[in-house]
Structures are given as structure tokens and as C-alpha cells.
């Protein structure tokens, strides 16, 4: 496209940040999310603080509880064909 200038990425979102942001958008505490998922609150805290890797199975469980696709949690900021995917949380909530 003529006159089109590619936007610069201004914010990096980690996996832990994406879990925390979506949890907060759902107005859930870590304890409430722990009750829903069966994942200990300490583990959720570790994920949100990037001390514990989320893993595929946990991503599926958390995504189901948070009503979003697992890719939104696991691949924040992922780019395909120069298009940002799942960096804004639009469409992440069902």
C-alpha cells in the first residue's frame, strides 16, 4: 500500500502478563481462578510473574476458565505475515 507505514511495537506482553490481564478482565482473583482450574494459586502467581512456564496442558485449562483461545495466552504478540495476533485482547473474551 502506498503511504502505509508499518507500526512499531510499543509494548511487550509476556505469557504471564497475558494470563494476568485476561484474568483481571474477567474480574477473577488468583484464588478464584485456582478454584475454577484446580491449579494452585501459588502456581498461577508463578505463571503471572514468569517464574513458572505455562505448558500446553495448563494453557488449555486456563484458557477454558478464562474463556479465550490458548494461543492468546501462550503466544502474546505473535506475528503472522506482518500482522499482530492476540496482542490486543479484543476478541479474547467470549
68 part of a folded domain: yes
Residue 35: which domain range? 15-85
DSSP per position, 43-94:
HHHHHHTTSS---HHHHHHHHHHHTS-HHHHH-TTEEETTEEESSS-TTT--
Q: How many CB atoms lie within 10 A of CB 84?
A: 13
70 part of a folded domain: yes
pLDDT of residue 8: 60
92 part of a folded domain: no
4 part of a folded domain: no
CATH code where residue 20 lies: 1.10.260.40
41 part of a folded domain: yes
Q: CA-CA distance, 71 to 11, in Å (whole number)?
A: 18
**Pairing state between β 83-85 and 78-80:** antiparallel
pLDDT of residue 45: 98
Q: What is residue 3's DSSP assignment?
A: T
Q: Which residues of the chain have pLDDT under 50?
A: 82-94
7 part of a folded domain: no
6 part of a folded domain: no
Q: CA-CA distance, 42 to 31, in Å (whole number)?
A: 9
Q: Domain total for the chain? A: 1
pLDDT of residue 74: 87
Global confidence as pTM: 0.72
2 part of a folded domain: no
pLDDT of residue 87: 42
Amino acid at each position: 500500500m502506498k503511504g502505509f507505514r508499518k507500526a512499531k511495537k510499543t509494548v511487550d506482553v509476556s505469557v504471564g502478563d497475558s494470563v494476568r490481564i485476561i484474568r483481571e478482565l474477567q474480574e477473577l482473583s488468583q484464588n478464584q481462578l485456582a478454584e475454577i482450574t484446580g491449579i494452585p494459586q501459588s502456581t498461577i502467581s508463578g505463571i503471572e510473574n514468569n517464574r513458572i512456564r505455562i505448558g500446553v496442558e495448563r494453557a488449555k485449562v486456563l484458557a477454558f476458565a478464562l474463556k479465550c483461545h490458548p494461543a492468546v495466552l501462550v503466544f502474546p504478540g505473535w506475528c503472522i505475515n506482518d500482522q499482530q495476533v492476540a496482542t490486543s485482547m479484543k476478541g479474547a473474551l467470549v
